[in-house]
Amino acid sequence: MVTQYEGGFVKEPKAGVHKGLSVLDFRNLYPSIIITHNIDVKTFCKPCKSKNYVPGFGDRWFCKDIEGDVPKKLKMMLEERWKIKKALKKKYDEKLAKKEQQLKLAANIAYGYFGYPGSPYYNVKIAESIAAFGRFYIKKVISDAEAAGLDVVYADTDSVFLKCSAARAKRLLGKISKDLPGVIKLEFRGYYERGLFVTTKKGKGAKKKYALMDKKGEMLIRGFETRREDWCKLAKDIQKKVLQFILLEKKNEAVRYAKGMLSNLKKGKVKLEDLVINVQLAKELGQYKATMPHITAARKMKSRGIRMEQGMTIRFVIVKGDGSLSERAEPYPGPKLNQIDFDYYAKKQVLPAVLRVLQVLGVTEGHLIK
């Protein structure tokens, strides 16, 4: 039985800063594929007259003759969501906005029904087929863009980043849209003055790790530490500021700023609350066997009479000492600023976050720390 399969297609990013980027992406790609190709357990490889063949799998298809249960439910769900989105554009309503997000989440997890053993729709081959359709459509956009002479900087699952004007991207979108079946729809998501893309040390693309800046100077950040919970506020804030400098084409200012902030950190010239790390308990405390900083902090809190439950956010800092990193995790509030291990925060929090951005411009650790 197939237990693992190829997921969405990722085109390796061209690392560095790029000017003039237009972004196209598919609206609700996987749910739209399920609806358009009538993907369901009762339509999968069943004898029928009309078939939707799976790209790359000549022996797999989905019958068109009968409507599947999942496509039917998804269609109603998405139609309701799209109506709400239109209403929200005219007038914002908090209740409607929450409902729209609930419908979005419910639609997006439908794909997971087919890959989850506890689901009544479980069939990994079907999940694999949905991903295959997804790869087919995103590769088509890339191929059409390159055929039109456009530079594809990056692509991931349902999004394509093109080095071109908004007008040119929209012309391409119009041509591609004519060939898209059913409810599958490619949309123009925006134009950005500049964008920064990074790769891993091994040279492999960093999935969804980029920062974009529009004409107003507003940034869209994905994948960097600024979006993650296991990094302190100081590291996030410094990285965001460095990203801003880079996207404004101020490399020297970015380096000077990073060096100054690292120097201040080592001297303890920071706010204690900016060093707090927040990590959520993914399961009950007693279920953890491994020792991790947030688990140690949670156990210390429990020993002090504080009730620990799954889903709670554990707030802690790393203090000086001879023990391991986990042993030096102390619940916050509690420790004083003079107890903090500033060297840890400099080397393991701020420096990695900053270098993640600056490395694509040739900046190394030696440029930031004397």
Average per-residue pLDDT in the chain?
90
The CATH class for the domain spanning 10-213 reads: alpha beta
Pairing of strands 186-199, 16-26: antiparallel
Reported as a pLDDT band with limits 50, 70 and 90, residue 336 is very high
Please, where in the chain does CATH 3.40.1820.20 lie?
A: 277-331
Please, where in the chain does CATH 1.10.132.60 lie?
A: 224-272+343-368
- According to CATH, the topology of domain 224-272+343-368 is Topoisomerase I; Chain A, domain 4 (1.10.132)
Task: Calculate mean pLDDT across residues 343-365.
Answer: 89
Least confident of 71-85, 189-203, 241-255: 189-203
Q: What is the pLDDT of residue 203?
A: 45
- According to CATH, the topology of domain 277-331 is Ribonuclease H-like motif (3.40.1820)
> Angle at Cα 134 formed by Cα 132 and Cα 138, nearest 5°?
120
State which H helix or E strand residue 211 sits in: strand 205-213
CB atoms within 10 A of CB 279: 21
- Position 232 pLDDT exceeds 90: yes
Q: Which two tokens stand for residue 40?
A: 């369901």
- Cα separation, 298 vs 306, in Å, equals 9
Q: What is the pLDDT of residue 206?
A: 47
Q: What is the pTM of this model?
A: 0.83
Q: What is the pLDDT of residue 201?
A: 52
Task: Calculate mean pLDDT across residues 131-156.
Answer: 95
Please, where in the chain does CATH 3.90.1600.10 lie?
A: 10-213
Helix axes 94-108, 29-36, angle to 10 degrees: 60
CB atoms within 10 A of CB 6: 10
Task: Calculate mean pLDDT across residues 208-237.
Answer: 85
Q: What is the pLDDT of residue 1?
A: 44
